[in-house]
Chains A and B, each alone.
Chain A
Amino acid sequence: MPHNVIDVQDVVIRFTGDSGDGMQLTGSLFANTAAFFGNDITTFPDFPAEIRAPQGTVSGVSGFQVHIGSSAIYTPGDYCDVLVAMNPAALKSNVKWLKPNATIIVDIDTFDKKGMEKAGFTTENAFAELNISDRNIIAPPITTLTKESCSICGIDPKSGVRCKNMFALGVCYFLYNMPLKHTEEFIRKKFAKNPSLVEMNIRVLKDGFNYAGNIQAIADTYIVKPSKQKPGIYRNINGNKAIAWGLMAASEKSGRPLFCGSYPITPATGILEELAIHKALGVKTLQCEDEIAGICTAIGASYAGSLAVTSTSGPGLSLKSEALGLAVMAELPLVIIDVQRAGPSTGIPTKTEQTDLNQALYGRNGECPIAIIAPHSPSHCFEASFYAAKYALEHLMPVIILSEGFLGNGSEPWRIPDMNDFPGIEPPIVQKLEEGEPYFYPFKRDPETMVPRWALPGTPNLEHRVGGLEKNHKGAVSSDPLVHQQMVNERAEKVARLARIIPPQTVVGEQEGDLLIVSWGGTYGHMLSAENQLRSDGIKVGLAHFDFINPLPLNTEEIFGRFQKIIVFELNSGHFANYLRAKLPQFTYLQYNKVQGQPFIVAEITEAINKIVK
């Protein structure tokens, strides 16, 4: 049937199914094809903590949302234009994300009595029960069709049926006039050792594509034109990978070998896994016996002269607290990455939140300030971790990177930078004693930066002792009240003076006026989209999105002073707002908070702002 091809600006597709249905892969393949085609993309995996929750139940539904556009895309999208639901449970739990005119693709084979019961439907018609019968529903018998292909390829139907996700992907490619070749190439590479699986997957992919072309249900297809991107070489990257690469880049720039001591924890494990791959660049990774050993091996490696890092999530950061204090006290460089997840305790491991800010700021004994950097998008994680490492190495102090599950697992196209465009990293390593220094004084400081010198074990004549006990500048243990006060002040000042080096805070939109929106970290895309939306609606606000949490950029006070009202948006109960109240108490801070393990949706941000403006 001839159909119309309609241009659309952007489209959101949500792939959902059982956690074993391969929805993460399906979504990634769609995103990659769109990226190769030249669309801007943002992705958001939304999956349960269970590896294989009971099949067919709502708790086992795994989702992967892709937002593609012909102009800049900042978020994975609030609501979807297409929902792929591989079973009734997936449909049921995702119906709330449908746009009013959404297309729904289901495997109708799974909507049998058993499937409906497992998903908790009480009638025989899922669509009527969910009140979505009027939507554009494409309901092929995907399981049956896939099984038929099995016999042609000579594959046991039981294992062959696993590639039914390719059928749904084929339908989506038809709907959006996208080529199959990138996915075919992927399949050929992935199953290179098993030609029958290659044949099977490609056949099912094409079956889906052709099925969509043959049925009468599709009157229109769509095309999302390539976006106008800056020329260059691009790749897709997720936040965890970008953090790992940023650290490797800092290692190369500084000449300090990279060491990562870590322990697997959702959603941060990807960083350790990624670093473990790159031994070719001299990376040493140690999967430790626990979180504490993760940071302590890193502290040891740092003492011995490495760019030392440890990656974790909130519960792991709790376990590392005491050792973090040791790194502060011993004045050693260290990068700690916390990919935040919903807490407290185990919380909801696979869901995103910004609820570790208080912990990062205050979660240690004693006077123990630590620099904190929060990346704002998956690709920004590269820059954030590069600079976290630079500051740690040059200032001999721990730096916390507060990432989020949303960033760690989310991906976007990234224009590959040239390492020559990044600044050098020069740690204050010393080779010999200063004139008149009888032995090495480990805490003698540069009066400008408050940074001591770094003497590495193995360097002749610089033997010295560091540790958790308070010491004087010469490195001798001291409980002298005034020495303690002075050292506390100097360690705090060392962190505070980082503000002289970090870039000034910028404001998007209005530079002064009635309302300033304040946010930080992974909410950037949503905040920026909201600001764009408001501007097109004629509402003028400024957006100050903070990457540097501690210290705050020096011009923060000046920016806040230019606005009548300030509202702080964050995915916690108000950690950043309270921090700002303590730092800049002369301003009043309104708050918008959400703690649901989910990112903001743009609509709730604009709605909250509209309420204030009106």
Chain B
Amino acid sequence: MKFTPQDFKSDQEVKWCPGCGDHAVLAAVQRALPEISEALGYSHERYVFVSGIGCSSRFPYYMKTYGFHSIHGRAAAIATGIKVANPTLSVWEMTGDGDSLAIGGNHLIHAIRRNIDINIVLFNNRIYGLTKGQYSPTSKWGTVTKTSPFGTVEHPFNPGALAMGARGTFFARTLDVELQLTQEVMVQAAKHDGTALVEVLQNCVIFNDKTHYIISDRDVRADRTIVLRHGEPMIFGKNKDKGLILDGVRLKAVTIGENGITRDDILIHNAEEQNHGIHMMLCEMEWPELPVALGVIRRVKDRTYDDMVRDQVTEVATKSNIHCMNDMLRSGDTWVVE
């Protein structure tokens, strides 16, 4: 059965602020689902959207799918339970930087570590929006907010680096304003068997406006970001003349044609490399030293948690002589009173 984005739109009024980056993510996901359904043969009722607390966590209400708007930080744990209980479901966790990197940090890293087959979409606006403007674990050093009137004195998390550290099998990054790219990485995430973490650099128009503007501004975006595609050279720039090379143990941005650099010197992106060393470096690239990496940075095959749980149950059950409770109650050390 073929679906259209309309099939995934609920009748609920979307209550995000006008200009919020979340609208674009919603649109991209609603566009991605028909494509995913077709590619993977998923029926409409198989989708479950789970969220925690925060602006982005309103997401499930706007989807005409099964949805669970849970409590702060716990969406990854709830999504894990859903997927383990019923591995045939397509489980999506919609979360923010406060929800999944502060209060829910523990669940996030453990979901990734287990490689449970869920898709986690992390809306990163580097601020607490729903509580009206406090700094988050991804706020840049020195960010002035209501709870940091003199600037933060905390190192921010890099979600990609965190995913690599937890031995993640899939990490992608996109920009809210890049609707097409967002849709593309959502499809990639859905196709991946294992925990797929998608970071969306998203704008909070009210409390942290233009936080990603330095790279997302249409005029400079092509020069300050790089869209990575597996098997393709790491080339970027308005004129497609810039690229990345390895300089010693670091990545370096170069211009093709300058200092004897040719296209052949440019690194080819290998998202499927098991060793995450280069992926980690790509995740950590920051403007102005380097372009910010977008697209699927890492996508490697590994066994998923939900499959292993199911297989172990099946394996043990086939070997066992105990098939029902009456068998079990009478197994082991028992005695008869006449």
Contact = CB atoms under 8 A, between A and B. Distances in A.
> A and B: partners?
yes
Interface of A: 32, 35-36, 38, 229-236, 245, 248-249, 252, 257, 259, 261, 278-284, 286, 288-290, 292-293, 296-306, 308, 322-323, 325-326, 330, 415-420, 456-469, 476-477
A230 B325 CA distance: 22
Given A38-B337, A460-B44, A467 B68 contact: yes
Of A300, A416, A418, A465, the most chain B CB neighbours within 10 A belong to: A300
B64 interface: yes
Interface stretch (B78-86, B168-176, B201-209, B216-224): B78-86
23 contacts: A230-B337, A231-B336, A233-B335, A235-B333, A235-B334, A259-B84, A282-B313, A284-B85, A286-B80, A293-B77, A300-B68, A302-B81, A303-B81, A306-B85, A323-B74, A415-B337, A419-B324, A463-B65, A463-B66, A464-B67, A466-B68, A468-B69, A468-B70
A418 B325 CA distance: 9
A33 B322 CA distance: 26
Contact of B81 (A234, A257, A300): A300
A365 to B, nearest CB: 11
A296 B77 contact: yes
Interface in B37-66: 43-46, 48, 50, 53, 60-61, 64-66
Contacts of B89: 304, 457-458
A236 B334 CA distance: 8
Given A284-B85, A299-B78, A457-B89, A279 B106 contact: no
A289 B107 CA distance: 7
A350 B333 CA distance: 27
B334 A233 contact: yes
B317 A297 contact: no
Nearest to A326: B71
B328 interface: yes
Given A419-B326, A465-B10, 6 more contacts: A36-B335, A235-B333, A257-B85, A297-B78, A459-B45, A463-B64
Of B61, B79, B82, B309, the most chain A CB neighbours within 10 A belong to: B82
Nearest to B64: A463
A551 B328 CA distance: 32
Contact of A248 (B68, B71, B325): B325
Nearest to B318: A280
Interface string B317-333: 10110111110111011
Interface of B: 10, 12, 43-46, 48, 50, 53, 60-61, 64-71, 74, 77-86, 88-89, 106-107, 110, 309, 312-313, 316-317, 319-320, 322-326, 328-330, 332-338
A292 B325 CA distance: 30
A23 to B, nearest CB: 20
Given A300-B80, A304-B82, A458-B46, A418 B326 contact: yes
A417 B329 CA distance: 8
A477 B12 CA distance: 10
B48 A457 contact: yes
Nearest to B113: A289
Nearest to B312: A279
Nearest to B72: A322
A252 B324 contact: yes
B320 A301 contact: no
B74 A284 contact: no
Nearest to B50: A300
Contacts of B67: 463-467
A229 B337 contact: yes
Contacts of B82: 300-301, 303-304, 457
Task: Say whether chain A's binding surface is mostly helix, strand, loop, or mixed.
Answer: mixed
A464 B66 CA distance: 5
Contacts of B74: 292-293, 296, 323
**7 residue pairs, one from A and one from B, having the closest CB atoms:** A300-B81, A467-B69, A280-B320, A296-B77, A297-B81, A301-B85, A465-B67
A301 B81 contact: yes
Contact of A280 (B44, B70, B317): B317
Contacts of B106: 289-290, 293
Contacts of A417: 329
Nearest to A296: B77
A297 B77 contact: yes
B45 A234 contact: no
Contacts of B317: 279-282
A323 B65 CA distance: 23
Nearest to A417: B329
B84 A297 contact: yes
Given A290-B106, A461-B45, A465-B61, A300 B85 contact: yes
Contact of B80 (A279, A297, A308, A469): A297
Contact of B71 (A245, A279, A464, A468): A468
A305 B10 CA distance: 23
Contact of B107 (A296, A465, A477): A296
A325 B72 CA distance: 13
A608 to B, nearest CB: 36
A308 B323 contact: no
A27 to B, nearest CB: 16
B328 A281 contact: yes
Contact of B84 (A280, A301, A322, A466): A301
Nearest to A237: B329
Contacts of A230: 337
Nearest to B88: A458
Nearest to A310: B81
Of B10, B66, B333, the most chain A CB neighbours within 10 A belong to: B66
B71 A323 contact: yes
A420 B329 CA distance: 13
Contacts of A461: 45
A248 B328 contact: yes
A236 B107 contact: no
A301 B313 CA distance: 16
Given A289-B110, A465-B67, A296 B45 contact: no
A281 B107 CA distance: 28
B96 to A, nearest CB: 16
Contacts of A233: 330, 334-337
A232 B77 CA distance: 44
B337 A234 contact: yes
A119 B328 CA distance: 45
A319 to B, nearest CB: 11
B77 A303 contact: no
A465 B11 CA distance: 12
A460 B7 CA distance: 13
Of B70, B83, B323, the most chain A CB neighbours within 10 A belong to: B70
A584 B48 CA distance: 45
Given A279-B316, A326-B70, A460-B45, A234 B336 contact: yes
Contacts of A322: 71
Contacts of A458: 45-46, 66, 86, 88-89
Nearest to A293: B77
Nearest to B43: A460
Given A233-B335, A235-B333, A297-B84, A419 B325 contact: yes
